[in-house]
Amino acid sequence: MKVGFIGLGRMGQAMARRMLDAGHDLAVYNRTAEKAKALAEAGAKVMGSVAEAARYGEAVVTMLADDAALEKITAQKDGLLQSLPKGSIHVCAGTHSVEIIRSLDAAHAKAGQRMVASPMLGRPEAVAAGQAGIVVGGAAESLACCRPLFEAIARRVFEAGADPVTAAAIKIANNFVLGCAIEAMGEGLSLVRKYGVAPQVLYDVMTDGLFAAPAYKIYGQIIVDETYEKVGQMAVLGLKDANLALAAGEAVGVPLPSGNVWRDRLVGAVAHGDGQCDWAVMAREQARASGLV
């Protein structure tokens, strides 16, 4: 498939590389051109603008950090809305609010374009290894057209529904559950530490029993080892996700009380200078609250 790709952060790099390795004809664009160097060496074509990437192929994929970045590259002069050919597909792969996905879907439809939401389920290293999932939402014919891209990136494709908003809602809900699980582990590990127990013991108990799942194994070990500098998801982006979850719940009258605790731990972590650490660093914030730091 001939496709453009915009946004070459750690997740975008991993996704684009898998598309290349699967044989897709890929053109990439990033505001910081240096980030495209390795992909260019692997066979990707480097575009000089959003417009060039949008016009390159049958679809353009965006993998951007937040709503502000997405809005900028879509609405700006020579952005996606102006540049994407009629009938072409915008595959929106970032974690974004239901509001912007809804409004952007409508804007693309008005311009004669198509949109698919396709947020990733997994850390960048899982994407690079082909072990991540992807949840997709959009019209059936658009999803079928992009299926080769999805299968190149992920081990499993979850179809959410015909409305791109459905994929955004699942991604937000999934991050909500994961974020709250990490926060709860931080509480439990602080509790045993106050009783003089090595945190590795609780980790072993959890992951050998009811919590023998990747989320608990991966993030639990990060907390035990305090290796917060090995970043999968930055705390500042975790805070963005917490705010997205609370806003999504408020919009449809769903209270998310655990989300407030999750968000507050991230607010504290960012305030203490840990915003660029892995979002599991919220456990350090719990340790501070417990008098352990």
Residue pair 98/163 in contact (Cβ under 8 Å)? The answer is: no
Strand ranges in 93-163 using DSSP code E only, listed in sequence order: 114-117, 120-121, 133-137, 156-161
| Single-letter code of the amino acid located at 61 | V
**Chain centroid offset of residue 289 CA:** 28
In our burial notation (b when 16+ CB lie closer than 10 A, e otherwise), range 223-239 reads bbeeebeebbbbbbbbb
| Single-letter code of the amino acid located at 245 | A
From 72, 171, 194, 240, active-site residue: 171
| Single-letter code of the amino acid located at 228 | Y
CA distance 288 to 269: 10
**Chain centroid offset of residue 89 CA:** 20
The answer to whether residue 171 is catalytic is yes
Tokens of 227: 């290796």
DSSP secondary structure string for all residues of 74-104: HHSTTSHHHHSPTT-EEEE-S---HHHHHHH
Residues acting as catalytic residues: 171
